A and B are shown apart, each in its own frame.
Chain A
Amino acid sequence: MIKYIVKRLLQLIPVIIVTSFLIYWAMNLTSGDPALLIAGDKATPEMLEQIREEMGLNDPFLVRYGRYMLGMIQGDMGESYITGKDVFQTFMETLPNTLMLGGAAVLIAVIIALPLGIYTAIHQSTWKDNVGMVFALFGTAMPNFWLGLMLILLFSLKLGWFPSGGKAGFSSVVLPAVTVGYGLAALIMRTTRSSMLDVIRQDYMTTARAKGCSERQVIFRHGLKNALIPIITAIGMQISMIMTGSVLAETVFSWPGIGRLVNDSIARRDNEMVTGAIIMCSICMCLINLVVDLVYAFFDPRIKAQYAKKG
């Protein structure tokens, strides 16, 4: 098991190298000189030259990349061109906001989707099932930033229940989380429904019923537990979608998260920040995927046994 984890962690190294190279290179190709943004409107040509010199922007690309990687090996991800703050520190300050948003989104999605998935599975092919499926279809077809705007229109403007943006306490997370969570809920619901349908027909369910368990017990104790693995997989597969959703929701709701950090930094040609933040993002996503894999093992001893063998 530990061997497996170590192996997965080692696989991060090529990811970091290739990602950092690609992003650093791409940012290098973008038109737009960071020195111009730092120096402001009144910049003189000499001053720009001086700034470029100080930041090492005049060096060839490979030299700069080499220097960047050298720093990274020593655990230094560099400083933002614009704010002068440490990239890693800034990322870590922002990360909790995104995790909070993502976590709330997953939570909301699960709370809505799990019961709905089970319910529709039990009432398969009735109008209840169909209403549920329509809910799911809309979730996957809706641009989530648009959903965000509609939620603002309804819940902030018309009803005034929730703030329309910014991060100020509990209520401010609700709308962005629903925005990110709806698409996810749709996917989880469909997965729950189909894996419940699989499970419902299994012999052990009939056995449980025969033993005199109540229908509720049958569904939850025997059915749900076995249906969980595909559901967790579905959530795990969608980490990327959650991140993408967050980028947009953060823009719509002025939420101070990673997505906005990266987006703003790209606009400001803050190469160190963009590269650092995207690398950290992909590391986080790999780690989350690892955790998801480990959670499978927890729910399914067969997979656990496989890890042990492989490791």
Chain B
Amino acid sequence: MKKKLALLMCLAMLATSVIGCSGGNGETTSGGETSAAGETTAAADGATGHKDTLIIGTDVDINNLDLQAQQDQINNIVLKNTHQALVWFTNEGEFEPGLATSWENVDDTHIKFTLRDDVYFNDGNKTPMTAEDVKFTLDMAMESVSAPNLAGFVSCTVDGDYEFTIETESYNNEFVQSLASQNLAIQSKKAYEDGVEDPYYIGTGPYKFDSWVQGEYCRLTKVEDYWGATTDQEVPDWAAPGVAETIDFKPYVEASSRVIALQAGEIDVCVNPPINELPFLEEDPNITVYEQAGSRLFYFAFNVTKEPWDNQTLRQAVACAIDRDSVLQAAVEGKGTLQTTILNRGLWGFYDDMEGFDYDVERAKELMAEAGYPDGGITTTLTYANSSPYESIATIIQANLAEIGITVTLSPCEDATLKSTCVNGDQELFLWRWNEDSKVDFVYRDLFYTGSGSNYHHYSDARADELTDLVATEKDPDKRLEYAQELQTYLVDACPQVPLYIANLVIAYNSNLQGQYFYGGGNHYWAHAYIAE
């Protein structure tokens, strides 16, 4: 029966495509009864001139919407629309009054705040938001995974319905800034005390939580009697009422699918489109590709406690051997900025004028010799997360280091394994990123301070620690800036990490999108965005 089969092999290759097509036609009629899922097509609302629904295609799954029990950017982007913080952080790096209208330092360790008196929760009863809620929220945060966002907090004292005082351990230049983090947005004390189911969903924002099906979508609906719409006082821009009736966040984890979904009109916004597909989006008249400088720093780093990487000169040799232009090209097609310092661009005191270590194989070889490895001969392992863009970065660096006689074995692993390995100090070389757009202390202290949990370099240096403390507490701005620059120069020279590049923020969306508010760090604010018609 199969005798003639062999003769048909060549024909077969042609035939598959034909059969494949007819197969595709067959399904159109066959799948009918299996698909009953609700289709989310936005019904046009001619009167208001905008679509009812705004659909945002995200690159990762939302995983937890309990404000203080999570630390992920994607969750915070959703929650930004439903909950509001005491301090508002603008996309130009300024801190402005949020739910708190003003604050002043009473002394080094006490800050007195005044709240808006016209804010109420979206719990259906218009329960007013008071200083009690603030105290409740902050106290609760100290017991949760959000506590590091509130480092230095001692207590909160309620001075009146709309006044409270926060005591801190010591004076810190950036304490008030901490209050802008989304995890510390104000929640309703009453909701928790009344035993409402999932009380963390109740906030004061222009949108409220509607439904969330994991892996599928998360839907927010506009609050009709939102405080910002009913108050007779002046409302700042960030607190204006929403426009679109609903905002859907839909995860399209596969990057190409997300782009195609945008082109097909299934979604209105494509977060983090793959760089190599931008040309297709740019030629599409209905789509706008927006690009601006970002703040996400990708770096290559050493575990400085592991031989031979405890040798500073050797680390510098490696830094000189890395062709960062190629890294930038391979990782994001050049859509980013090469970086010399360890601080995220845009943060206060950013200083990039030190000499640093540019790509220079000759210098690298000299430094290798100086470090005691004239012929290389080092074998080591590079650990990184098995996701984009680390794979590309690792591939380039592996080839670079081979040139100076360092044999690198690549060890891609899942995030969880990477973090454990790094925390335990079992890694030798690693790739990681740091995304911080508001507080410099969250860079210096978290990454380089002795004993910090996220100091994966296991770097410990008395001078660096001292400078970190000085930057945090020095009140004279000029002196503080001096310290900040000295610290950055010092850390670059010590070379526990080799900063590679800062990725640009790239986002693609329906050209009719209005009211968007982008942050270089990716924490976009969608509450006023809509699709105009």
Contacts and interface: CB of A to CB of B under 8 A. Distances in A.
User: Is chain B in direct contact with chain A in the complex (CB below 8 A)?
Assistant: yes
B266 A44 contact: no
Nearest to A154: B20
B252 A177 contact: no
B462 interface: no
Contacts of A17: none
Interface string B1-18: 111110111011001100
A166 B2 contact: no
Given A41-B454, A131-B15, A138-B16, A30 B145 contact: no
A165 B257 contact: yes
Contacts of B276: none
B214 interface: yes
Interface residues of A, number: 80
Counting chain A CB atoms within 10 Å of each CB, which of B34, B35, B69 scores highest?
B34
B254 A111 contact: no
Contacts of A161: 24
Contacts of A268: 63, 415-416
B145 A51 contact: yes
A31 B261 CA distance: 36
Interface in B251-274: 251-254, 256-258, 260-261, 264, 266
A252 B66 CA distance: 29
A36 B420 contact: yes
Interface in B1-60: 1-5, 7-9, 11-12, 15-16, 19-20, 23-24, 26-28, 30-32, 34-35, 37-40, 57
Interface stretch (A236-244, A259-267, A293-301): A259-267
B419 A36 contact: yes
A253 B35 contact: no
B215 A94 contact: yes
A254 B254 contact: yes
A155 B32 CA distance: 18
A24 interface: no
Contact of B257 (A97, A254, A269): A254
Contacts of B391: none
Counting chain A CB atoms within 10 Å of each CB, which of B26, B254, B423 scores highest?
B254
B260 A47 contact: no
B30 A108 contact: yes
A108 B216 contact: no
A58 interface: no
A207 interface: no
Interface residues of B, number: 73
Interface string A123-166: 01101011101110110000000000011101111001101111
A107 B254 contact: no
B27 A34 contact: no
Contacts of B15: 131, 134-135
Interface string B118-146: 00000000000000000000000000010
A14 interface: no
B61 interface: yes
Contacts of A154: 20
Contacts of A256: 213-216
A84 B66 contact: yes
B35 A170 contact: yes
A108 B266 contact: no
A168 B434 CA distance: 35
Nearest to B257: A165
B191 to A, nearest CB: 17
Given A41-B446, A135-B16, A82 B64 contact: yes
Interface string B475-513: 000000000000000000000000000000000000000
Contacts, number: 225
A229 to B, nearest CB: 22
B171 interface: no
Contacts of A124: 1
B23 A182 contact: yes
A47 B145 contact: yes
Contacts of A33: 416, 419-420, 423
A83 B63 contact: yes
Contact of B454 (A42, A150, A254): A42
Counting chain A CB atoms within 10 Å of each CB, which of B69, B149, B260 scores highest?
B260
A45 B419 CA distance: 13
B93 interface: no
Given A130-B4, A161-B24, A254-B251, A104 B256 contact: no
B419 A134 contact: no
Given A43-B145, A108-B26, A138-B16, A174 B31 contact: yes
A36 B416 CA distance: 7
Contacts of A111: 26, 30
Contacts of B2: 133
Given A83-B64, A100-B35, A267-B416, A166 B252 contact: yes
Contacts of A134: 5, 8-9, 11-12, 15-16
A64 interface: no
Contacts of A45: 451, 453
B266 to A, nearest CB: 6
A39 interface: yes
Contact of A104 (B9, B34, B147): B34
A37 interface: yes
Nearest to B418: A32
B310 interface: no
Nearest to A138: B16
Contacts of A252: 254
A93 interface: yes
Counting chain A CB atoms within 10 Å of each CB, which of B7, B64, B69 scores highest?
B64
Counting chain A CB atoms within 10 Å of each CB, which of B31, B57, B451, B453 scores highest?
B31
A166 B215 contact: no
B312 interface: no
B103 interface: no
Interface of B: 1-5, 7-9, 11-12, 15-16, 19-20, 23-24, 26-28, 30-32, 34-35, 37-40, 57, 61, 63-64, 66, 69-72, 145, 147-149, 213-216, 250-254, 256-258, 260-261, 264, 266, 413-417, 419-421, 423, 434, 442, 446, 451-454
7 contacts: A33-B423, A43-B454, A45-B453, A47-B145, A83-B214, A154-B20, A163-B264
Given A165-B252, A169-B39, 11 more contacts: A32-B420, A47-B147, A84-B69, A85-B214, A111-B30, A125-B4, A151-B20, A177-B34, A252-B254, A256-B213, A267-B414
Interface of A: 30-34, 36-45, 47-48, 51, 82-85, 90, 93-94, 97, 100, 103-104, 107-108, 111-112, 124-125, 127, 129-131, 133-135, 137-138, 150-152, 154-157, 160-161, 163-170, 172-174, 177-178, 182, 251-254, 256-257, 260-261, 264, 266-269
7 closest Cβ pairs, A-B complex:
A40-B71, A165-B257, A32-B416, A256-B215, A169-B39, A170-B35, A42-B148
